[in-house]
C-alpha cells in the first residue's frame, strides 16, 4: 500500500516480475482495492503457494506521516507488518516495500529481529562507478537517522560480508564518509568509529573518503549514518537530474549543430542516464542485519523499479544472504573478533584521551 504513487504501480511491478522473470508475489494490502487493481492487468488472485499473484488482505495502512514504531505496534493489521509475518511463517521468502522506510525498519525489528551482534539494520545501496567497474556499496543510506560510532562499525562489518555474499568483492576496501581524507577530519562519531575500525583485522579499512570519491576507485564499501547517507544518495540523484535538465535546456535553446550532436549521441545518453545512473535499474536496496530478507524501494519507484527490487529479493534469497551474513557475524563472535561493547569501551577511552590533542 506504500509508495508515492499508491498500490497500482507496485502491483504493476509485481505483475511484470511474474510475467518477465517468473517470480510469484503475495501482495499485501486492502483486498478490495488490490483485487480491482489486479483486474486492470488482466490477472486474478491465485491461492498462496501457487505461481502467480496472491492478494493477502491487510486492513490498515501506515502512511509517510505516521510515527513508525508506534504505528507498527498499534496497527496490528498493517500491510507491512502482515508482510513480515508471512515471511516469518514461511509463506513468503522476502519482503519488498516502497513504503515508509521507518515503518519497514520498525516492522523488521519487531517481527524478524536482528542478526547476532547487530543493534540496528542498515540499508545498503549500490552507487555506480565509471566504466566497467563494479558499484560502491553505501550503508546506511536511510534507516538510522542518529547513529552511534559502534553502529558505523557494525555497518562496516555487514558491508564487508554482504559484498562477499553477493560475490561483488572478496576483500572489499571499507571507508567512512567524511569531510576530508585526513584522520583529523570527521565529527565526534566518525573519529570514534575510525579508531575502532583500525583495530578490527577482519575489515580492510582504508580510512576516510570524501563525497567526490564515491564514484571513484577508492573504496568498495562506504559507511555513514542514515541521515547523511540519505542526503548523499539523493544529492547524487539531484546532480544527475540537474545535468539532464541543463542539457535539455541548452538543447532547446541552441543551434542546429548542438541539436544534431545530441540527437546522434542520444543512445549513449540513454545508456548512461537510463541504465547506469537511473536508481530504478537497481530497484531496491536490502535492509541488512535482519533475520529475513527485506528490500527497500524508493518511495517514487516506478513499476520497473519494483520489478527489479523483486529480482534483487529473489537473488538474495537464492544466494542465502541472511544465512551467510549471520554465519559470518556468529563466526566473528566465536573467534572474539566481533565488535563488542568491551572493545568499543576500550577504544572509546583511548580516543577520549587522544581527543584533547585532536581538538
Q: Give whichever of 167 and 253 is closer to a copy of itself, judged by the CB atom.
A: 253
Q: Give whichever of 119 and 250 is closer to a copy of itself, judged by the CB atom.
A: 250
- In the list 206, 231, 317, 343, the residue contacting a copy of itself (rule: CB under 8 A) is 231
- In the list 19, 39, 216, 349, the residue contacting a copy of itself (rule: CB under 8 A) is 216
Rounded to an integer, what distance in angstroms lies between the CA atom of residue 10 and that of residue 17? 11
Q: Give whichever of 178 and 316 is closer to a copy of itself, judged by the CB atom.
A: 178
Does residue number 353 form part of the binding site for a copy of itself (CB under 8 A)?
A: no
Q: Give whichever of 41 and 258 is closer to a copy of itself, judged by the CB atom.
A: 258
Does residue number 212 form part of the binding site for a copy of itself (CB under 8 A)?
A: yes
The torsion angles phi and psi of 97, rounded to 5 degrees, stand at: -150, 135
Distance of CA 241 to the CA centre of its chain: 21
- In the list 39, 171, 249, 274, the residue contacting a copy of itself (rule: CB under 8 A) is 249
Does residue number 211 form part of the binding site for a copy of itself (CB under 8 A)?
A: yes
Burial class (CB within 10 angstroms; exposed 0-12, middle 13-18, buried 19+) of 305: buried
Cell numbers given for 257: 549543430
Q: Give whichever of 17 and 80 is closer to a copy of itself, judged by the CB atom.
A: 80
Q: What's the angle, vertex CA 254, arms to CA 251 and CA 255, rounded to 5? A: 125
* Spatial CA neighbour of 210 closest among 177, 187, 184, 182: 177
Q: List Cβ neighbours of 89 (8 Å cut-off, separation of 6 or more).
A: none
* Spatial CA neighbour of 14 closest among 1, 27, 5: 27
Does residue number 177 form part of the binding site for a copy of itself (CB under 8 A)?
A: yes
* Spatial CA neighbour of 313 closest among 7, 23, 112: 23
Least spacing, CB of residue 72 vs a copy of itself, in Å: 13
Rounded to an integer, what distance in angstroms lies between the CA atom of residue 229 and that of residue 151? 14
- In the list 3, 128, 283, 326, the residue contacting a copy of itself (rule: CB under 8 A) is 128
The CA-atom distances, in angstroms, between 119 and each of 166, 190, 197, 289 are: 22, 17, 17, 8
178-207 residues near a copy of itself, rule: CB under 8 A: 178-180, 182, 184, 186-188
Does residue number 232 form part of the binding site for a copy of itself (CB under 8 A)?
A: yes
Rounded to an integer, what distance in angstroms lies between the CA atom of residue 126 and that of residue 172? 14
Site mask for a copy of itself (CB under 8 A), range 132-151, x = bound: ----------x--xx-----
Does residue number 268 form part of the binding site for a copy of itself (CB under 8 A)?
A: yes
Q: How many residues bind a copy of itself (CB under 8 A)?
A: 71
47-76 residues near a copy of itself, rule: CB under 8 A: 64-65, 67, 69-70
Q: Which stretch binds a copy of itself (CB under 8 A): 105-113, 148-156, 252-260, 318-326?
A: 252-260
Q: Which stretch binds a copy of itself (CB under 8 A): 8-16, 75-83, 228-236, 287-295?
A: 228-236
Does residue number 342 form part of the binding site for a copy of itself (CB under 8 A)?
A: no
Distance of CA 308 to the CA centre of its chain: 13
Amino acid at each position: 500500500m506504500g509508495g508515492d504513487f499508491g498500490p497500482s504501480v507496485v502491483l504493476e511491478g509485481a505483475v511484470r516480475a511474474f510475467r518477465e522473470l517468473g517470480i510469484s508475489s503475495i501482495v499485501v494490502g486492502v483486498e478490495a482495492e488490490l483485487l480491482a487493481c489486479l483486474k486492470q492487468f488482466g490477472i486474478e488472485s491465485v491461492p498462496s503457494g501457487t505461481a502467480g499473484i496472491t492478494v493477502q488482505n491487510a486492513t490498515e495502512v501506515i502512511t509517510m506521516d505516521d510515527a513508525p514504531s508506534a504505528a507498527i505496534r498499534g496497527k496490528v493489521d498493517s500491510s507491512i507488518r502482515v508482510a513480515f509475518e508471512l515471511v516469518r511463517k514461511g509463506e513468503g521468502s522476502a519482503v519488498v516495500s516502497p513504503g515508509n522506510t521507518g515503518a519497514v525498519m520498525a516492522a523488521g525489528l519487531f517481527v524478524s529481529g536482528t542478526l547476532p551482534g547487530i543493534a540496528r539494520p542498515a540499508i545498503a545501496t549500490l552507487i555506480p562507478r565509471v566504466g566497467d567497474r563494479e558499484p560502491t556499496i553505501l550503508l546506511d543510506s536511510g534507516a538510522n537517522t542518529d547513529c552511534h560510532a559502534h553502529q558505523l562499525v557494525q555497518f562496516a562489518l555487514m558491508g564487508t560480508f554482504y559484498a562477499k555474499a553477493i560475490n561483488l568483492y572478496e576483500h572489499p576496501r571499507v571507508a567512512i564518509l567524511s569531510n576530508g581524507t585526513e584522520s583529523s577530519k570527521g565529527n565526534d562519531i566518525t573519529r570514534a568509529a575510525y579508531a575502532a575500525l583500525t583495530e578490527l583485522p577482519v575489515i580492510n579499512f582504508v580510512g576516510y573518503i570524501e563525497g567526490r570519491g564515491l564514484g571513484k576507485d577508492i573504496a568498495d564499501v562506504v559507511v555513514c549514518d542514515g541521515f547523511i547517507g540519505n542526503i548523499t544518495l539523493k544529492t547524487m540523484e539531484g546532480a544527475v537530474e540537474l545535468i539532464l535538465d541543463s542539457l535539455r535546456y541548452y538543447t532547446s535553446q541552441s543551434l542546429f549543430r548542438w541539436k544534431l550532436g545530441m540527437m546522434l549521441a542520444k543512445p549513449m545518453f540513454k545508456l548512461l542516464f537510463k541504465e547506469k545512473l537511473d536508481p530504478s535499474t537497481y530497484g531496491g536496496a536490502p535492509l541488512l542485519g535482519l533475520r529475513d530478507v527485506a528490500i527497500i524501494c524508493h518511495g517514487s519507484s516506478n513499476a520497473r523499479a519494483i520489478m527489479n527490487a523483486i529480482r534483487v529479493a529473489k537473488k538474495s534469497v537464492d544466494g542465502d544472504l541472511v544465512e551467510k551474513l549471520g554465519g559470518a557475524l556468529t563466526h566473528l563472535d566465536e573467534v572474539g573478533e566481533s565488535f563488542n561493547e568491551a572493545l568499543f569501551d576500550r577504544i572509546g577511552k583511548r580516543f577520549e584521551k587522544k581527543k584533547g590533542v585532536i581538538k
